[in-house]
Structure 1
């Protein structure tokens, strides 16, 4: 049976457990995230744990234009929803607190901002992006109570499972912090997502693929993957411009195959939200693929189908039984 004809355990014909289908099924209709920049900072920017932030980070590379800290939460939601509503009337919305660390601040102020978002017409829940080391118990108590009334999910930037890598990029926490946070969130029956970057400095192909079985053992609901991007305004971008020979930049086909090899090792129950990120061209240094996220997802899906592979096909398999499929040597 060709993969395009197969219906997988997650209930679709797509060879990976995709976020869009999952959310449409869960909410019985179209749901869209609307990004919010609530003006937060991070503990490795303000001196609590360090300065300068993660070496790969320039928050302007992933925020939509309407998401600006100079505007109120309601103003950002109004603008963002108007853009989506014009194309898809009747859509429901999740307020996505995205920029920087959205649980890092005075608890009463945090709750005030969350409640402002939930009071906006059409908003049916929250997704809160944060770090694994910024989740006090009393805030989790609030999220647990809130989750009984509306949809709540927490998204963690874990980036890598290797402490050496986390230190190299000035992350400010170790992987054990991510493990602990994921278990603490999941124990409260709150969906938890994770964000990982493939190709961080010093990581080999085996290191990257080794993340898949490790995160598969965690009680994750969702996972975002994307390629390492060297961007202007980041320390890593400056390092790359100075000595590009010291850094790995994936060719497009090479990255697609890397994602395929990652996905086949991944627990089938983890919902995959994306495989790439798309920085604005004026900030992006490399890799310059000029593809939108959904276009790269299509390439991954096509490659899985070509090879008769699917998410989790080699989950828990012995390493020597997993085929090497790369078209380009890493």
Structure 2
């Protein structure tokens, strides 16, 4: 078996017939879990930039960020089309007109084939979804909802600020509009065991989510997770342990779920632990080898779950 999971590059090539790359853009938006609407501390693992590039703080417009990204990715990957990825913080958390202006600007740049919008499930409403639906008529539109876990106790523990029902409501409100839905999941969250992590896979399989991003929980300087880790009250996953969990997770998902990511990209200058986490290529090889040694693949056990769902 050539491909044991449905990766993002294969999805893009199937859709566009060429190499497509996502360009990360920073729109300078905020998050209700940081500005006091829900909380001021954010999720316990989140860094000060909200996983962003800091480009907005340097005065770079969306257009400037996309042009620079296109130049770099065209040279490195021979990419012909691009997706503008609004990553930093919550990218539907702003007034309607501001969001429309940002999205319009991105889609006006040459060879931008669509948008991928990272946000929270509690930061969408009917007007925003109608706006995205209008773009989806001519462009590829993905909404990436941060879930992290389907376990409400875990969501409370990490100060997520919403529960699983909130995520399900956002997903159901987004479906049927031509918008693709991606869920972000973190493996290794404090207090979660293997069965709870795999219950998240089962819950997402039941919802028939279009795409998944899997992340390792790594400890970043200046976060609450750093204090928990340094106190000895948290143990990071080992590399093989994480790779095994990823394979377990993949086996429970439908074959047509697009696997947008299998592990994250921590910044070395802010990483506390685990020290193996920047070894992304080695982790991906390990996942590939485990699947081959198991003679396994994405969706191997999904049919059994589907029978249960009816």
Assess same fold via TM > 0.5: yes
Return closer, same or farther for 1:59/1:221 CA change in 2, 3 Å cut-off. farther
Partner SS state of residue 143, structure 1: helix
Given that residues 35 and 67 in structure 1 are in contact (C-alpha distance below 8 angstroms), is that contact kept between their aligned partners in structure 2?
Answer: no
Partner SS state of residue 302, structure 2: coil
Aligned position for 1:40: 29
- The separation in 2 between residues aligned to 1:263 and 1:221, in whole angstroms, is 14
Return closer, same or farther for 1:61/1:153 CA change in 2, 3 Å cut-off. closer
- The separation in 2 between residues aligned to 1:202 and 1:298, in whole angstroms, is 28
Aligned position for 1:209: 198
Residue 30, structure 1, aligned to residue 19, structure 2: yes
Residue 306, structure 1, aligned to residue 289, structure 2: no
Partner SS state of residue 32, structure 1: strand
Residue 78, structure 1, aligned to residue 78, structure 2: no
Given that residues 36 and 68 in structure 1 are in contact (C-alpha distance below 8 angstroms), is that contact kept between their aligned partners in structure 2?
Answer: no
1:304 Cα deviation after fit = 0.3
Partner SS state of residue 207, structure 2: coil
TM-score (norm 2): 0.93
1:183-212 CA distance string (max 9 Å, x none) = 111221211001000011111111112211
Return closer, same or farther for 1:58/1:291 CA change in 2, 3 Å cut-off. closer
1:73-103 CA distance string (max 9 Å, x none) = 1111122222112224452111110000000
1:221 aligned residue (198, 210, 213): 210
Counting only pairs closer than 5 Å after superposition, residues 54-93 of structure 1 correspond to structure 2 as 54-58=43-47, 60=49, 62-64=51-53, 68=57, 70-89=59-78, 91-93=80-82
Return closer, same or farther for 1:295/1:183 CA change in 2, 3 Å cut-off. farther
Counting only pairs closer than 5 Å after superposition, residues 270-309 of structure 1 correspond to structure 2 as 270-289=257-276, 291-309=278-296
Residue 195, structure 1, aligned to residue 184, structure 2: yes
Partner SS state of residue 268, structure 1: coil
Given that residues 183 and 219 in structure 1 are in contact (C-alpha distance below 8 angstroms), is that contact kept between their aligned partners in structure 2?
Answer: no
Return 5+ residue gaps in structure 2 as ranges. 306-310
Aligned position for 2:248: 261
1:262 Cα deviation after fit = 1.5
Residue 247, structure 1, aligned to residue 226, structure 2: no
Given that residues 62 and 278 in structure 1 are in contact (C-alpha distance below 8 angstroms), is that contact kept between their aligned partners in structure 2?
Answer: no
- Judge which range, 293-302 or 273-282, deviates more: 293-302
Return 5+ residue gaps in structure 1 as ranges. 1-5, 7-12, 319-330
Given that residues 93 and 122 in structure 1 are in contact (C-alpha distance below 8 angstroms), is that contact kept between their aligned partners in structure 2?
Answer: yes
Return closer, same or farther for 1:64/1:91 CA change in 2, 3 Å cut-off. farther
Aligned position for 1:125: 114
Over the residues paired in the alignment, what is the CA RMSD in angstroms?
Answer: 1.7
1:151 Cα deviation after fit = 1.2
1:246-305 CA distance string (max 9 Å, x none) = 112111111111111111122222111111112111111111115443442222111101
Aligned position for 1:323: none
Partner SS state of residue 96, structure 1: strand
Q: Count how many residue pairs are aligned between Structure 1 and Structure 2.
A: 305
Residue 169, structure 1, aligned to residue 158, structure 2: yes
